[in-house]
Structure 1
Amino acid sequence: MTDIFSLLSRLKRPALLIRAARCGVDQYNRNVHLLRLLAVATLPRSGPALIQLMEIEQDLDLQRRTDRCSYSCARHVEVLIAIMGEARLLRASTPDLTAV
């Protein structure tokens, strides 16, 4: 679990993307948003979901940096919201990490 939080702490993205995601994280509903973003039948636990979301986000960031026509800023923000939401859930469900 700590490795996931280490990866998240090293994630550097433009301030505007992060601010937009922070505005939406309080409305994050994993039953709705995570199902749609991961396109799965059953929801994975927060740890595995975070890994999948980070892979999706890395691809979106690459698209943003290379100026690809397929880049969607809205999707990027949605994925960042889900990452923040899942990180909150994971931190809250892991007693050792609630003090971090």
Structure 2
Amino acid sequence: MCKISAELDQMRRPRLLVEAAANGTSLYRRRRDLRRMLRVAIPASPKAALEKLLPIEAALEDRRLSVDKNYSYPRHVDILVALMAEAHAFRRAAT
């Protein structure tokens, strides 16, 4: 198992965040959404996207847990939507 798959498998987030993100995956458009979320060129592969998204999500999770006033639920849901969609594409490509 690769490092990215292990990180994804170990993630535990509140059900409400996960459900909101899961509902948003049907609206996810890689080209449009990754550009907005990452604010850089769109990564060439789902693996490259995950490598950029995972640290962003981890930082958001740290902010959520520390009750940081700069934490944004909508941003966290957006990043989780992208993570779920890219993880699905990554795992589909690996099989």
Q: TM-score w.r.t. structure 2 length?
A: 0.92
Q: Helix, strand or coil for the counterpart of 1:33?
A: helix
- The residue aligned with 1:24 is 24
Deviation at 1:93, TM superposition (A): 1.7
Gapped regions of structure 2 (runs ≥ 5): none
User: Retained in 2: the 8 A contact 1:46–1:87?
Assistant: yes
Deviation at 1:94, TM superposition (A): 2.0
Q: Does 1:68 align with 2:68?
A: yes
Work out the CA distance in 2 between the residues paired with 1:2 and 1:17.
25
Q: How many aligned positions are there?
A: 95
Alpha-carbon RMSD across the aligned residues, in angstroms, is: 1.3
Q: Does 1:13 align with 2:7?
A: no
- The residue aligned with 1:98 is none
The structure with more radius of gyration:
1
Q: TM-score w.r.t. structure 1 length?
A: 0.88
Work out the CA distance in 1 between the residues paired with 2:27 and 2:80.
13
Deviation at 1:52, TM superposition (A): 1.1
Deviation at 1:55, TM superposition (A): 0.2
Deviation at 1:91, TM superposition (A): 1.5
Amino acid at match of 1:14: P
Cα-to-partner distance string for 1:63-83 (whole Å, 9 max, x where unaligned): 111111110000000000000
Deviation at 1:43, TM superposition (A): 2.8
Identical positions, percent: 37
- The residue aligned with 2:3 is 3
Work out the CA distance in 2 between the residues paired with 1:61 and 1:44.
26
